Structure formats: C-alpha cells, structure tokens
Amino acid sequence: MSTHDNATDDTTDFGFERVKKEEKAGRVREVFDSVASQYDLMNDLMSGGLHRLWKRFTIELSAVRPGQTVLDIAGGTGDLAAKFSNLVGKDGNVILSDINAAMLSVGRDRLIDKGALNNISVVQADAQFLPFEDNSIDCITIAFGLRNVTDKAKALASMNRVLKPGGRLLVLEFSKPVSPLLSKIYDAYSFSALPAMGKIIANDPDSYRYLAESIRKHPDQETLLEMVEDAGFVDCRYHNMTGGIVAVHRGIKG
Amino acid sequence: MEHDPAVIAGVCLVAEKAIMQAVDLSAGTREQLKGLYPLTIAVNCSSPAVNLYVTIDADGAVTVASYREESATVRLAGSWRDFLGVAAADDPASALINGNIQISGDTAPLLRLQAVLADLDIDWEAPLAETLGPVAGHQLAAVIRAFTRTSQSTHQRLKRQLSEFILEEGRLSPPQAEQNAFFSAVDDLVLRVDRADSRVKRIKKRLAGLSG
C-alpha cells in the first residue's frame, strides 16, 4: 500500500527519492518545464490514447451545468478546461490553474487556437494554497496532478474550502491495478517502455522515470478515498478504470 | 458485473462521432435537431447492464454519455437483442413501438426525432470529394453508387427468386393462404380446448357440490 505524507516529517516523496518538502515543488516544476511542449503527445503515446477516455468519463461524472464555475487544478495543457468551457456556456466560468508556468503557457496557447478563451481564466496557483474565495466554485477537477502535490491533505483541504456546499471534487489519478497480472505487466511497461519513450520522443528519460515512480508512490484507491473523506468531503466514492490503472475519486462538499 | 467506464466511454465516443458525422453530412438535420432541444433519451440495456444517455444540445449537437444526473425526457429499457432488433428493422419506429422495449416518459419528442432520422440524407460524396478532389471524388462516388444500386437490385431479385423456389418449385413451405388457414384452425382449436376445459371444471365443481 502507498503511504500518506507524514505530517511530522519534513520530507516527502519525489518518485522513489525522499526530498525536503520545500524542495518538491521546484523539482516537480523542473520535470514539467522539461516535458511541457511534448506533454500531450507523450500522454497519447504512453496511454495509447486512453487518457482521453479517462478524462471523458471524469467530465461525465462532473455533471457540470451551464452557468457554473469550474476549477481545473493542474490543468496543464487545458484539454479538460476546453471541454468544460462548452459545458458551462457563456454564463459560466472555467478557471484553468497549474503551478507550472510552462504548462499553463502551452495550455493557454492551445485554448487560444481553439477559440475557447472567452469564458476561461488562466491562473498560476499552488493547489495547497488556492487563491480563491471560500465557497465560490461549483466543481473542481484535478487530473493526473495530485500525486505531484507536496502535501496532498493540505491540497484537498484547500479544495474543500473553495468549493460551494454541494459542490463536487473529482480526482483523476493513476492508481493500483486490481489484477496482479496486470500489475506486473504495468510495472514492466512503466519502468522500461516509459523512460525509453521519453528518451526517444522528448529526449528526457529521467522526467518520465519520475512520472512512473511518482505513480507507484501515490496512494492506492482506498487510501485516497480515506484522504478525501478526511478532508471533509461526503458521499465519497471511486471508479476504477482500465483495471484500476487509473481511478477517479468523487467527493461532495457537505 | 460492472463494466469498465473507460470501455463504455470509448463506445460513447465512437457512437457520438459517427452520429455527428452523419448529422453534419446531412443538410438541414442539425437545424431540425435544434428544434428538439432539450431532449435526453435514456437507454437502459438490461443485458449487458449498460446505461447510455443520448442528449441533444441547444446547438443541435448530439452527445452520448454513460453517466448523467439530470432526469431523462424519455426512457427506453430492454435487452441488447431488443435494441438490435429495432436498429435492424425496416421500420425502426414501428419496431420500437411494437417490440419488447419498454418506453416511459414523454414519447412525443421521440416521434419527432424519428421524423428527423427519416429525413436524414447523408451526402457521403462530400468527404470523398474533399479528400480526393472534385473529379476523382465524383468518379469514385459514381462507381460506389452504381455498385450499391446493382447490389440492391441483385439482393431483391435473389430474395424474390428464393421465395418462389421455396414455395413453388421446391414446395418446401406451404403457400401463405394455406399457412393462414392452418394457423386459424390452430387458434380455433385452442379456443375450443379452453372452452371444454372450463366446462369440465364447472361440471366437476357441480358434482363436488352434489356429493357434498
């Protein structure tokens, strides 16, 4: 089972390394600065395009309606934000947020190309310290971002704070495959094929090795469910996808 | 058994793309669909247990989803065989109403949707011309059209000849009139057996009353 960050410890996971908490954000930033330009291409290659289906189901679970405000944390290249932009319509608002300026820049350019920026704001923010008013957001999504956050409990509490009562949180993240056989295949793929692809496509095997390691260190389905409940969310549940390689957790602010 | 949401999402994506491609290639269909907004059709398939929601948006776009919280305008429930039967029928509207699919909710928009689908006229030549250029695209379309016409007429001729062979030359099946007379006689016999059965029961009851 994966581990929680220990509140009394001043270190945290950075892949399989332990680093000081104040160092992690910088190290993560270096990784994403490096992969930003090739991020979507690599996502397609690494997941065989499946990340689009995982995100599609997450959007369905959001049940976002016209006029609502949606915050997409760690939204990076903006693919979820573009979809939410259509769903909330001209009376709604989508906030694309990421801690990494390089990823946001790629995302903003892409949204401009799609002509989707009229109801989207772009905000550089740390998920642990969301710069939004209490009870101001209808729906928060964080897709493949929570595992890179230094203090996940603090980030979940921050999300709970800014959500309106009845608002929902959706965490889409890599998780633990339910079948041992799939787990072995997935391990072999992650630690061999993934860095190799990173080297060929982005000339950056280390960053992709970090991605694989950070996935292994991320809490499994049940642990993350507990963390979401501990952050004050109610009616929490999760859905495994692709045999548990990915799970989407849902919580409602009570 | 719970299905993998990613697989269902993939099915929805493919269905949605196919529907939207057909809609965009049929002049006027999108405008007609706009008139149906807001419409959500819930399709509850019992075996395999899959729920799909087909929604028509304000701009006439059709979305297919596996999860939806708003209530549906109309709900169709049945097994995959029932839905396949409707899809394959010559007259899907009639098959839907007379088949095993349970329909609940407001059916009026469903009938309007059926009218829109009946008017669907897909200009499949357009993407060919876009890809190959107007001359080559048109030539290929003419070949495909001629091939389709020949296939259809051959299929109809074969169907007719096969039917004639079975009925008249091979005498493998009795003529329709003979079949109808036979089925009518069977129905009549069933009715008479039912009447005799209830008469026997009545007599038994009376005898039991006399002996008691």
Q: Which residue has the tokens 């710069």?
A: A131
The ipTM assigned to this model is: 0.79
pTM of the model: 0.78
pLDDT tens, per residue, chain A with 254 residues: 344 444 456 778 777 777 777 777 777 777 777 777 777 777 787 788 899 999 999 999 999 999 999 999 999 888 899 999 989 988 999 999 999 888 898 889 888 888 877 899 999 999 999 999 999 999 999 999 998 898 999 999 999 999 999 999 999 999 999 999 999 998 888 888 888 887 887 777 777 788 888 888 889 999 999 999 999 999 999 999 999 999 999 999 98
* Three-state secondary structure call for residue A35: helix
Q: Which of A54, A60, A63 comes nearest B66 by C-beta? A: A60
> Whole-angstrom Cα distance, residue B56 to residue B36?
7
CA dihedral A26, A32, A34, A35 (to 10 degrees): 170
pLDDT tens-place string over residues A41-70: 777 877 888 999 999 999 999 999 999 999
Lowest-confidence pick of B48-52, B113-117, B172-176, B205-209: B172-176
* pLDDT tens digit sequence for B12-50: 999 999 999 999 988 889 999 999 988 999 999 988 889
Identify whether the C-beta of residue B91 lies closer than 8 Å to the C-beta of residue B76: no
Would you say A93 and A23 are in contact if contact means Cβ atoms under 8 Å apart?
no
Q: Is A90 on the interface with B (CB under 8 A)?
A: no
Task: Report yes or no: A123 at the B interface, CB cutoff 8 Å.
Answer: no
Identify which of B9, B68, B70 has the shortest CB distance to residue A56. Answer: B9
Residue B82 has pLDDT above 80, yes or no: yes
Please tell me if residue B5 touches chain A, with a CB cutoff of 8 Å: yes
- From the list A53, A63, A65, the residue facing B6 with the nearest CB is A53
| pLDDT in the model for residue B169 | 79
- Closest by CA to A218, choosing from A186, A178, A176, is A176
Question: Cα separation of A207 and A31, whole Å?
Answer: 5
pLDDT digits (tens, 9 = 90+) for A170-180: 999 999 999 99
- pLDDT at residue A51, rounded to an integer: 92
Q: Which two tokens stand for residue A53?
A: 């289906």
Chain A positions in Cβ-Cβ contact with residue B8 (cut-off 8 Å): 57
Dihedral pair phi/psi, residue A121, rounded to 5°: -105, 145
Cross-chain Cβ contact B9/A54 below 8 Å: yes
Q: What is the 3-state secondary structure (H, E, C) of A45-111?
A: HHHCCHHHHHHHHHHHHHCCCCCCEEEEECCCCCHHHHHHHHHHCCCCEEEEEECCHHHHHHHHHHH
Asked whether the beta carbons of B39 and B109 are under 8 A apart, the reply is: yes
For the stretch B117-144, pLDDT in tens is 888 888 888 888 888 888 888 888 889 8
Nearest to A176 by CA among A233, A249, A98, A127: A249
C-beta atoms of A60 and B9 within 8 A? yes
